[in-house]
Structure 1
Amino acid sequence: MAVLDDALEDFARREVTLEGISKTVLVAGTGPAVVVLTEMPGISPHVARFARWVREAGFTVYLPSLFGRDGAYPEAAAGMEVLQRACMSAEFRAFASADSSPVTSWLRGLARLAHGECGGPGVGAIGMCFTGNFALTMTLEPAVLAPVLCQPSLPFDDPAGINMAPEELVEVAARIERDDLAVLAYRFEGDRHCRAERFAAYQAALGDRFTGMVLPDTAASPAPPPFFAEIVQTPHSVVTAHLIDEEGQPTVQARDEILAFFAARLRPA
């Protein structure tokens, strides 16, 4: 359904090389930087819509292309192929409870670059689904001040897993306490890919620094794109595919809370 694709023409495409690895990064906006990490199966029109909301809230969005075809509408078969390739990629640890995905090192470098280019107190980061936990790992970079985890889904085989090396988790927890940071997280109550056990594990590791918000399944859009309807098969994507863009909706409230969190941490009075 090419007519449903997003041309992403309002983003500048940059090739960013860090640690000898080059990736395309879509950039738009002005103000402090926020790194938006795409969910599966890539930078969909819904992910781009969220990035535009961040941009319109007064931030510079850095949207790295990590998998899939940029701007593609999430069809079921094509999305499943992207997911399978990502699970086999050396950049990710889709089935590792106690191992960090190597791509997070590159993403920390991107946050450092973005802070240098945009200035301000620091950088925000939001991960979604497959990349959900990456925003937390990125706090190993001192520039990251506002991490948000939306439906963090890795590792797939351990509902209570955090997808981070134990020594890095200890370092992250210490850094968050030392620098007076907070971590926001969101999930739907009936999400089979991000269950209550995972939020409990974050709470145990981070204590009161972690705030996990759980939305009722009835707050999810009943008509998401085919990849989410046929492959994900559960309320899942809080601020993208399952967001209902109507005033008063819980998913819109979640979006606004996230934007306010970025503003409070990156544009302090």
Structure 2
Amino acid sequence: MLDRYEAAHFTHEGVTKPVYVRGTGPAVIVMHEIPGITPEAVRFADWVVDAGFRVYMPLLIGKAGPPLTMGYVAKSMARLCISREFHILASHSSSPVTIWLRALARHAHEEAGGKGVGAVGMCFSGNFALSMMLEPALMAPVLSQPSMPFPLGAERKAALHVSQEEFQCVKDRCAKGDKVLGLRFKGDRMSPPEKFETLRRELGDAFEGIELEDKDANPDSPAPSPHSCLTVDLVDKDGEPTREAAKRVIAFFQERLLAA
């Protein structure tokens, strides 16, 4: 499924990662979930391309292409836990990889042009788009089932994996008209409701939270419980709540990056 994508690399401050690029129009950075870039992540990226955007899909962990299996999830999770780029339990600081992602956003904006850049994170990368708002070009942040810090204890359940400086930037930008979109399944313990409660309290009407019913998840998903709003737990049929949620994400990018 990645045959139509250009396999590039992006380097910042000595850190180089593969980035899969496709499409024309304003840039949207699609950040995958555990375990890696799965066929369903590519499917969502294809929808973004078809909507008039140039997708940049960095490989943050795992591999590009293999489907999700529980063994593959376990291997990627083990790498995530020991990597210095990800601080999985940090409540009030972001993962170091977000510095590289902000640089990628600058590069993508310079290359693709347009009003600005969109970004969608999923699961462990779900909150990265908040930290990326330190980059002025990042204009359309989407948080899909944000999970870090992993919800061990009441404080981490409500935390957003951003520093005070980063979140103050988010609040300042939202006070001036910027918006943040979020998605989660209502019963998802990895992305608990407390995170959305924090976003609603701190950002007010600038935060749009979509909370899906567990019963609307893909019954054939390889995941043990509803979690992945835009990938394996999405039912790819018009009218299905998960498919409509994906359409809302793309409409959000269009509103923020394409509208006059």
- TM-score range relative to shorter protein: over 0.9
1:16 aligns with 2:13: no
1:223 aligns with 2:220: yes
**Residue deviations 1:228-247 (CA, integer Å, cap 9, x gap):** 23xxxx21111111000011
Unaligned residue ranges in structure 2 (runs of 5+): none
Q: Distance in 2 between matches of 1:264 and 1:111?
A: 18
Corresponding residue of 2:127: 133
SS in 2 for 1:255: helix
How big is the shift at 1:152? 0.2
Does the 8 A contact of 1:129 with 1:152 survive in 2?
Answer: yes
Q: Distance in 2 between matches of 1:195 and 1:54?
A: 27
Corresponding residue of 1:160: 158
Corresponding residue of 2:98: 104
Does the 8 A contact of 2:29 with 2:117 survive in 1?
Answer: yes
Does the 8 A contact of 2:25 with 2:53 survive in 1?
Answer: yes
Q: Which runs of 4+ in 1 moved over 3 A?
A: none
Of residues 78, 82, 87, the one that matches 2:72 is: 78
Corresponding residue of 1:189: 186
Does the 8 A contact of 1:33 with 1:118 survive in 2?
Answer: yes
| Aligned pairs (5 A) from 1:1-269 | 6=1, 8-156=2-150, 157=152, 158-178=156-176, 180-225=177-222, 228-229=223-224, 234-269=225-260
Alignment root-mean-square deviation, CA = 1.0
How many residues are paired up? 256
How big is the shift at 1:142? 0.2
How big is the shift at 1:171? 2.0
Identity of aligned residues (%): 48
Does the 8 A contact of 2:36 with 2:63 survive in 1?
Answer: yes
SS in 1 for 2:35: coil
**Residue deviations 1:152-197 (CA, integer Å, cap 9, x gap):** 001112211111112221122112323x110000101101111111
How big is the shift at 1:218? 0.9
**Residue deviations 1:187-211 (CA, integer Å, cap 9, x gap):** 0110111111110111222222111
Corresponding residue of 1:3: none
Does the 8 A contact of 1:148 with 1:184 survive in 2?
Answer: yes
**Residue deviations 1:48-94 (CA, integer Å, cap 9, x gap):** 11000100111000000000011111111122111111121110111
Does the 8 A contact of 1:150 with 1:238 survive in 2?
Answer: yes
Unaligned residue ranges in structure 1 (runs of 5+): 1-5
Instruction: State TM-score, norm by structure 2.
Output: 0.96
Q: Distance in 1 between matches of 2:37 and 2:70?
A: 15
Does the 8 A contact of 1:140 with 1:175 survive in 2?
Answer: no
Does the 8 A contact of 1:32 with 1:266 survive in 2?
Answer: yes
Matched residue type, 1:165:
S
How big is the shift at 1:99? 1.2
Q: Distance in 2 between matches of 1:204 and 1:87?
A: 30
SS in 2 for 1:159: helix
Does the 8 A contact of 1:224 with 1:242 survive in 2?
Answer: yes
Q: Distance in 1 between matches of 2:111 and 2:165?
A: 30
Q: Distance in 1 between matches of 2:161 and 2:117?
A: 22
Matched residue type, 1:115:
H
Does the 8 A contact of 1:217 with 1:235 survive in 2?
Answer: yes
SS in 2 for 1:26: strand
How big is the shift at 1:216? 0.6
